[in-house]
Amino acid sequence: MQQTRRYILDILKARGEATVDEIVDELHERRGKDITAVTVRHHIACLQKDNLIAIPELRHRTSPGRPQHVYSLTDQAVAQFPSNYQQLAAGLLKQLQDHLPADGVNVILEGVAQQIAYEAHIPEAPFEERLDMAVDYLNNRGYEAYWETAEDDYVLYTSNCPYHQIAQDTPALCEMDIRLVASLLGTVPRRLTHIMAGETACAYRIPNALPG
């Protein structure tokens, strides 16, 4: 990303919101950039096209003058900043495993799988349509999924594990994925290949099911 636009995002992240004049002042004082309001507006327009800056709100001045536009980040922009979710999730899972029996951990992860599947809102439909919807949902969650026919059944592939590093220490997450696929499709899959075993994808053989 162009450096000035990165600076503008950084300013909005730190301040929460800012006007063009405030951004100009911040760029000058803290970044040493001599920049005009016109140039800042150009960069803001480009960032808005990329859905990184939200539609501005109007702020009325305390002194006479026209209201000013106030800019803030979109959720998409906030998601681009560094986060520590993976380390937090790994720590929580370790505490679960240290303080609960294996069956208790499995019950919790099964509940997580059911909740994720519920959020997919896959309706009753012919089975291959449900497969397509499940694949779309999994891909939105980073699984890089696709399916193929296999004799009278189907094989669902997930070529990316969105929590690969955590799963290395928590095999129960892999079982959670099996439960997730089962909950999405309403039929129990059988795992054929496994990324954690060094294979290129997790593959699940899925019994053919009647439409709906």
Number of independent structural domains in the chain? 2
This prediction has a pTM of 0.62
Q: Are 184 and 120 in contact (CB under 8 A)?
A: yes
Verify that 46 and 63 share a domain, yes or no: yes
pLDDT tens digit sequence for 133-167: 999 999 999 999 999 998 889 999 999 998 888 88
Checking if the pLDDT of 212 tops 50, the result is no
The answer on 196 and 159 residing in a single domain is: yes
**Segment holding 151, helix H or strand E:** none
**Which tokens hold the place of 98?**
């240290």
Range of the domain at 61: 3-78
Tell me the CATH number at 13: 1.10.10.10
Average pLDDT of the chain to the nearest whole number: 89
The two tokens of residue 19 are 């006007």
d(CA 158, CA 174): 12
Q: What is the pLDDT of residues 45-96, one digit of tens each?
A: 999 999 999 999 998 877 777 888 999 999 999 888 876 777 788 888 888 8
CA distances (Å), origin 165, targets 84, 103, 173:
13, 22, 11
pLDDT of the residue at 136? 96
Helix (H) or strand (E) run with residue 26 in it: helix 20-31
Q: Is residue 181 part of a domain?
A: yes
Contact 208, 150 (CB under 8 A): no
Which of 60, 78, 96 is a domain's end point? 78
139/194 same-domain check: yes
